Amino acid sequence: MALHSGQLQELKKNPPGIAVACALTELIEADEHLLLIDANERSITFRFAFYLQAFLPDWTVDCEYNRDGVEPKRLGHLGLYPDSEDDEAKTVFPDVIAHRRGSAENYLVIEFKKSTSRVDREIDLVKLKGYKDQLGYQYALFVEVGTAGQACITELWWI
């Protein structure tokens, strides 16, 4: 299996964890090339979402879905933006979600980061907390994938 025992134990802490583990394993085994060549994060998350859908048949799995019902999905000020006077909600595009389209039923949100990314992981962690607190996701997960010569999962955290 593509995940080590500590990662499996972390994933098993929440109900969608087994589905996520299976989808991550398929990603690493079937799409190793994407990771090894440091492909765009959207390419990686699309393939992951494709696999995850098979393991969460009662939910719809989408990538970068920006709707909350019919309105744009927004988060209130999270301290991530440079203008301290800006307290307007910002449109957000979660990497991968499992939900029921057109409803307020938000099951799982996942933010991915490539190991080669220079963007602070704290930004994703703050967004994940916002997705749970403000948009009602039941589960939020941070996943870092090894890229550019390594095809593995380097970090996993439930928020």
pLDDT, mean of residues 124-144: 96
Question: Model pTM?
Answer: 0.89
| 3-state secondary structure (DSSP) of residue 40 | coil
- Output the average pLDDT for the chain: 89
* Residues 159, 29: Cα–Cα separation, whole Å: 26
What is the pLDDT, as a whole number, of residue 42?
96
Question: How many domains is the chain partitioned into structurally?
Answer: 1
CA-CA distances (angstroms) from residue 159 to 92, 122, 147, 152? 17, 12, 23, 21
Report the CATH number at residue 116.
3.40.1350
What is the pLDDT, as a whole number, of residue 89?
52
Domain with 24, as residue range(s), is 5-158
Q: What are the tens digits of pLDDT across the range 66-122?
A: 766 656 666 775 655 444 444 555 767 899 999 999 898 999 999 999 999 999 999
